[in-house]
């Protein structure tokens, strides 16, 4: 069955730390997304990509970098983590872009920045 996996599932780091969140999809999808979800907010798009080597900026990109190394793998990098980046992070994939396509989500990574 097609799947989106994320690692780690939980991560604790300190302010100023360096964190990489990983996402892999076996759906053969072109599009991949990184979201964050905080209490009182819906999912907010950080970055997305429509293919290996491509990167598009989302709605809340500040403090985050992303890299799509292959069709399957999409990474989110926090180079100087701050407490404001404590959140639940979701990765997703879709066959085509945005407005109509069903997105398939990973189980999430809970990040705590102390």
Partner 1 sequence: GDSVTQTEGPVTVSESESLIINCTYSATSIAYPNLFWYVRYPGEGLQLLLKVITAGQKGSSRGFEATYNKETTSFHLQKASVQESDSAVYYCALGDYSNNRIFFGDGTQLVVKP
Neighbours of 79 (CB within 10 A): 12
**CB neighbours of 57 closer than 8 A, spacing ≥ 6?**
47
102 binds partner 1 (CB under 8 A): yes
Neighbours of 100 (CB within 10 A): 7
Residue closer to partner 1 (CB basis): 16 or 98: 98
- Region binding partner 1 by CB under 8 A among candidate stretches 10-18, 41-49, 63-71, 78-86: 41-49
93 binds partner 1 (CB under 8 A): no
Distance of alpha carbon 53 from alpha carbon 18, whole angstroms:
22
Distance of alpha carbon 40 from alpha carbon 65, whole angstroms:
24
110 binds partner 1 (CB under 8 A): no
90 binds partner 1 (CB under 8 A): yes
Binding site for partner 1 (CB under 8 A): 4, 35, 37, 40-43, 45, 90, 92, 97-100, 102-108
């Amino acid at each position: 069955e097609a799947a989106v996996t994320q690692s780690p599932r939980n991560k604790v780091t300190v302010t100023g730390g360096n964190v990489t969140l990983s996402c892999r999809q076996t759906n053969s999808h072109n599009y991949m997304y990184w979201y964050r979800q905080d209490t009182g907010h819906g999912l907010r798009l950080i970055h997305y990509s429509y293919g290996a080597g491509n990167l598009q900026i989302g709605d809340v990109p500040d403090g985050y970098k992303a890299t799509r190394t292959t069709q399957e793998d999409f990474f989110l990098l926090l180079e100087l983590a701050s407490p404001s980046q404590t959140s639940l992070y979701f990765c997703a994939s879709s066959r085509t872009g945005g407005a109509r396509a069903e997105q398939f989500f990973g189980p999430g990574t809970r990040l705590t920045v102390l």
